[in-house]
Amino acid sequence: MKLAITGASGQLGSYLLDELTGKHEVIGIDIIETPHQAHQDIVHRADIRTPRTLASWLKGVDVVIHCAAQVSVENSIKDPIGDMDTNVRGTVGLLQTCKEMGVGKVVYISSAAVYGDPLHVPISETHPKQPKSFYGVSKASAEDYVRVFTETKGLDHVIVRPFNFYSRRADPLSPYSGVITKFVQMARSNRPLTVEGDGEQTRDFIHASDVAAMVCQVACSDVKNQTFNCGSGKGTSINELALAILRASPNHVEVVHVAPRIGDIRHSVGDVSKARKLLDFEPKMSLDQGMASLF
């Protein structure tokens, strides 16, 4: 099987390359160079917003895993047109090129941001899509394009909605790094872990390698035209996360609380029963194991 990964230089894309290399023929596509030496020869420069540059790389490809995206909520608010240009127009152009080049299936990496404020927890795949940011809107809209391409053009798909994934490959300098990456940087710098609000808000944390394992499973199987949540299925409070960081860190730092973030979602935990039932998927890395790996 031949697979192509867009956004291959990113955190998840790099783990996908690790998972697939040696098992299948795989190429990576990204607008930037990969920072990982092992991937230098298989990641190629191309922009999903210019479909003509993609066609030659998709020749003979069976499955495309589409990770490339503008992923900053903050940037989507500052520049909604740019966010839409990459996440919607770029995705539509990629889908059209996939169809023209005979690609059989697209695995679209969406986001739990499509759900917005949950009406119930855990959040199932049938939960209404009510995004609160332009980023969430663009990911939800791209999902609809993916689905309609199946209905009108016969291009099979799988949509994967990861919750909060993390790894050592997350960029600590990024303005939209997750809370885990920020906590680790604070601990390494002997700075207090800063918890916004009372810290009882919950999130569903999963290591990027586990997300990659699930994505590779749906990409390389007969599963098609389905949507899956990808998470641990367990709610972890930010206070509990801070304690896990303290257990893993060689430095002893304090935890301090500051004012809550305006508009912050209180609880976000995925219902992953569908992935368990249809894919027999279970994350391998516990939160404590994951925190230890970061140090």
* Residue 280 within any structural domain of the chain: no
Q: Which domain CATH number covers 184?
A: 3.90.25.10
Looking at the fold, whether 239 and 220 belong to one and the same domain comes out as no
Whether 69 and 142 map to the same domain: the answer is yes
Assess whether pLDDT exceeds 70 at residue 177: no
Cα–Cα distances (Å) from 3 to 8, 17, 26, 57, 245, in that order, read 12, 10, 5, 10, 36
With the C-alpha atoms ordered 147, 148, 149, 152, is the resulting torsion angle positive or negative? Answer: positive
Q: Does any domain span residue 127?
A: yes
Assess whether pLDDT exceeds 90 at residue 173.
Answer: no
Q: Which residues are known to be catalytic?
A: 135
Q: Are residues 154 and 196 in the same domain?
A: no
| Domain that residue 147 falls in | 2-165+207-230
Q: Say if 274 falls within a structural domain.
A: no
Residue 262 has pLDDT above 80, yes or no: no
Q: Residue 115 sits in a domain of what CATH number?
A: 3.40.50.720
Count up the domains in the chain and report the number.
2
Residue 18 lies in a domain: yes
The per-residue pLDDT for 72 is 87
pLDDT digits (tens, 9 = 90+) for 12-27: 999 999 999 999 999 9
Selected residue with higher pLDDT from 234 and 261 = 234
- What is the DSSP track for 41-85? TTEEE--TTSTHHHHGGGTT-SEEEE------HHHHHH-HHHHHI
